[in-house]
Structure 1
Amino acid sequence: MRRSSPALLAAACAVVSFAAFAQTYPAKPIRIVVPYAAGGATDTYARVYGRKFTEAWGQQVIVDNRPGAGGNVGAAVAAKSSPDGYTILLNTSGLAIAPALYRKLSYDPVKELQPVVMLTRGVYVFAVPPSLAAGSLRELIALAKAQPGKLNFGSTGIGSGPHLAGELFRSLAKIDIVHIPYKGDSALTPALLANEVQMSFLPSQAAMPLVKSGKLRPLGVASGSRSAFLPEVPTVMEAGVPGYELSTWAGLFVPAGTPRDIVQKISAEGVRMLKAPDVQKILVGWGVEGIGMGVEQFEVRYRADVEKYARLVREARIPQVD
């Protein structure tokens, strides 16, 4: 009769221990780290999701707001936490931009964070003022090619999502347009309405009222499929720029090394709660779509986005931030 080695016995005990831990999870309060200030969209989502986790699991969920450094303060707090499932990070696609945009980070967004579930997708609307002589995306591209360096595109700041969306458009459409950064939506939108800039990628919740009132003309949505909120507007890819896709998202992450069973349990509950009518109502109010992308798909998407943004930042020669 062969004797089991101490190493094998230790490994077997570890497997049993992890399995038992996952079965009893959660056994204490859970913290959701939000890397932005209280009162914004991400904070609102966290409180809604926290309530749903409590209803499902009977454990208190605490929202811990850790704003600063473009979301990197909170992300670092989560990344350095114990990988036991009791710290969850709710973050946006800005997390995938961070490795390319920031010269020094105190954490590794790829190696130290495990994607769990993509909860929502936000759509950028490519809009122009009605006074611009371009009724379609193809006409706009033709206009830009006829006047290289004369048309401007606005964004909410250097390295922002709308900036990178514009850089991707410039690259794939092979046109020469000039980037004009503004300090947030509140400054960008009036400039676009006044034709100070001729085009911009706006978040759908900001664009929809202006589109529906006729103050802006939508030429496309930046996502890979049409938006449920503006189904009559084609994607940028459909409208004439093959290969174009760039959308925002919000999702849950845990520290790397969290037991896979716990990761899957959090993911499954995240997918389930998106179907609740009260959650759907809130998402519609914010102009975002519930997605419910599971662990494996989200892992692939997250890493692809990190690579895409790194390429865009490099090709557009966007200066890194300290």
Structure 2
Amino acid sequence: MRLLRHPLVLAGLAILALLAIGEAVAPGFAGAGQLRSQFVIAAMLGVIAAGQNLVILAGREGIDLSVGAMLGLGALVAGNVMDGDNAMILAGLGAAVAVTGAFGLLNGLGITILRIPPLVMTLGMAGVIQGLLIILTSGRPSGRAAPALTRFIIDPLVAGIPGLVFVWAGLAVLLIWFLRRSRAGLNIYAIGTNQEAARLSGVPVTATRVLVFALSGAFSGITGFLILGYTQSVFIGVGNAYVLPSIIAVVIGGTPLSGGTGGYTGTIAGAILLTLLQSLLNAMAIEPFGRQIIFGLVLIGLMLIYGRQDRLRV
């Protein structure tokens, strides 16, 4: 029974249930081709949720509400640097990560130095970036993906699996190692469990908290780069649909909003589960506003479950 209550096990069972329901509602839902497409979409959610995972693990009610806006900014920067040129793919990725990482760094400095609450700081930053996007684009699509990037993300690379899925797997391995084996990763768990105890133990609390927000910005930039390759163009608000799911994926995977426990393995399962859920809702012809309501209800339900634990750590 204890095993069945484990968040990762529950997420796995939910994934199997969604596949079974989807196959019953729309035959072919659990087919190989459909699953490959779902994994590509899950990979993009999984990458942006990686940064959100780090912020939430660090505790202090940390949630990054600016990830959607930074995703759009990363896509815009990458698209304009590449402008359809295969030779500029790496330059586009580097520029996107540098810019969004810098905005994430500003989030971290505002939260730690100016002591602005994370929700307020990141929400305000989202507004600033959205306004900047409108100024830079005048509300029109701007920038183009390189054809080679689009082929890498969409077309099969090895054993029928698109390259994006391998990129996600590589990032997952690196992030899991970072959290479990590196000093910086262990510091994140320490400040999420008890910030004052971590400070007294010599953990650089301020630097660690700034780091997680900078990394969240960088992961948002990577996601923007990947989504640009998937959609082949940039438009205002492209990242808005990823903000709430990035939080839900982390919580479904067993990382409580109080921080200090959990990890990225569960977030991977959460990203896959949400992607399948959204695909199932599409197959059932539920309108976008209905899907958003369901996502919100899922988050509220999870908060009711995790909110029954001990009070938030300080």
**TM-score where L is the length of structure 1:** 0.21
Q: Based on CA coordinates, which of the two structures has the bigger radius of gyration?
A: 1
The structure, 1 or 2, with the larger RCO (C-alpha pairs under 8 Å, 6+ apart) is 2
**TM-score where L is the length of structure 2:** 0.21
Higher strand residue share: 1
